[in-house]
Amino acid sequence: MCINNTQAKKRKIVKNLINIPVKTGQNKNKGMVVLEPVFLKNVVLYLDTLNDVYYFMFINKSCLSVVQTMYINTYNASLNSYVDTILKIFPNLQTLYFSAVTRLIQKSSGSIPLIEVNPKNTNFFLERTLKTKWFPSKVRKLKINSKEIEVLEKNIDKFEQLQFLKIGYSLQKSEIKSILNIIGKSTLKKVYITTDVVSFKNFKNFDFEKHEFTTYVFVITYSPYLSEIPDYDILRHLPQNVHIFVNFISKETESLPYITQEYMNYSFGDNVSSEFVYVLSDFGGGANELENIMSKCLQTKLEISNPWIQEYGFMVKQTIEVPDICFDLSNSELIQEITLKNVNAKHVVLPIRVKKIAIENVEGEIVMEKCTPHAIRVCGYTGKQLVLNDEKLSVVEYRDVLNGVNFIHNNTLYSGKYIIDLDKIKSIDIDRLPTVKCVVFIKNNKTLFEGNLSAVHFREDSLSIENLANDIDITEFGVNSFSVFKTSNTPNMVLGNVCFLNIMKGEFNSIYIGDCQTITLRQTNIKKLDINVCNTFTYKSSKITTVKGKKIESINGTKKAIKNWEIENSSGINNLKEVNN
């Protein structure tokens, strides 16, 4: 067997693990202390992959024997390993634990140990496996998602040893009847279900007391969208065998135990990458209490929000009064990311150390001029004008910001101007502004150009602008792709070399372009278009008084749309391809 350097290192690490000094079991030859088999098995359980287990087996005969006599396989290795592979390496398992499901060769039920299944994602093969003859009778612990619910219900009588069941988050009413039939199975000792407060009411008629030997654990998760106004009273006065946990903080749930998403991932086998602490706006505590909660949860991300009420696919305004929020979080040492969503901010001061800010459907007053975030997203803000320091800013998104944003750039406040420092900014999305705003592009402390615009989109070397209302010269901007959608006041525009130029619904007095690979005009009128060199020039539903330039290789359009051609190399004109408008 050929072993590369990486494999050799792994073998060395594993060998070091098993040669740990203890008080008994001296090695007669080298005086080295050797671990007993029970300790070696613990080492195996902590190996990350089946490859690591494989290398472990070939260290010596003792290691091989340890693996082949283990009664349960390693947890970490099961996350990405298929069942048939696990069974080959661990031939004497009494309990088979796995998360990845694949096709299995046909086996008799006697050759399969007890099974614990905790898939991290919905898997087509798990759904098929639930229908087999050999699999159900051996399952002791099972986690399913919505896709497998119907299949499990149809085969529930075959799961003779099923004791622990986890049901993933689901909102489908069509699944409730099946779930109710499943969780009443007499062999069950413990059932875990994650759901939201509105969906929980589907369980209110289930006779929990009839199944007194089964413990039911419900985790009520935060959902940004609910189908109706929640009734939190249904979470109270439940039978003793029903336990409720919540993963959000609210005045309505303050008497219920709180559980973080990280703990849910660990304890309930969830696989949700969320590190937010969710706080509803009715939370009655202050900034210090929020900081204490963040500290206890070991989290750095906070969301203060209220769920949308979504009826028949349409989001509607809250029909209940949403409490105003008032926090001064400026001195927080923990919060690195904060989201305010669907709230009335009477007066909220954001943490000075915050790195990422998200504001969505918010009104009121948000104070953040002392913050230096790396990224900011504001969508649907109707409150007092925001003041933003761009010292560390790299990602910007503004949509539907009623009163605009004032920028602090190099310790100078710019009122009524959007400052885009290209030495720092990597991504820009400014859209749906109520009026045209002045957007200033800066690089190396030099203004490249100022544009009166209603929208700007910039990413890497692509720039798109909307509703241009003034003359601009972007010769020094240096973009690969440039797009203009709508103009006013028939401006003049000067471009340098650009690969792709797209203009739609524009009215220009003049446009000057250097070398360009492709120019596309749609519903655009230009008095004078001056092009140095262009490979492909296409225009539809457009009119141009004069086109001037050195060379245009390919032209697609209608001759009558252009009055005057002043092209030094006229081959493109002679080969013009007529295109219907």
DSSP 8-state assignment for residue 307: P
Q: For the purposes of burial, counting CB atoms within 10 Å of the CB of 574, is it exposed (0-12), middle (13-18) or buried (19 or more)? A: exposed
Question: Which pLDDT does position 269 carry in this prediction?
Answer: 54
Copy the structure tokens of residue 568: 């030094």
91 confidence band (pLDDT: 50, 70, 90): confident
Residue 2 has pLDDT above 70, yes or no: no
Distance CA 499, CA 223 (A): 45
Cα atoms in the Cβ-side hemisphere of radius 13 Å centred on 452: 11
55 token code pair: 């290398």
Output the six-digit token pair for 165: 């069941």
Distance CA 40, CA 580 (A): 78
Asked which of 321-325, 471-475, 519-523 is least confident by mean pLDDT, the reply is 321-325
What is the rounded average pLDDT of the residues 489-518?
A: 95
Strand-pair category, 386-389 with 242-246: unpaired
Element (H, E) at 178: helix 173-182
What value does the mean pLDDT take over residues 245-265?
84
Q: Whole-angstrom Cα distance, residue 258 to residue 245?
A: 6
Quick one: what percent of the chain has pLDDT higher than 90?
50
Give percent of the chain with pLDDT exceeding 70. 82
pLDDT at position 50: 84
The whole-number pLDDT of residue 580 equals: 65
Sequence-distant (6+) residues with CB within 8 A of 400 are 379, 380, 381, 432, 434
Closest residue by Cα to residue 449 from 398, 408, 410, 496: 496
- Whole-number Å distance between alpha carbons of 42 and 468: 68
Both ends of the chain: CA-CA distance in Å?
70
Q: Exposed/middle/buried for 132, CB within 10 Å: 0-12, 13-18, 19+? A: middle
Domains of the chain, by residue range, sit at 163-274, 460-581
- φ, ψ (nearest 5 deg) of residue 167: -115, 120
Side chain identity, residue 380: G
The mean-pLDDT minimum among 189-193, 270-274, 467-471, 539-543 falls in 270-274
pLDDT tier for residue 162 given thresholds of 50, 70 and 90: very high
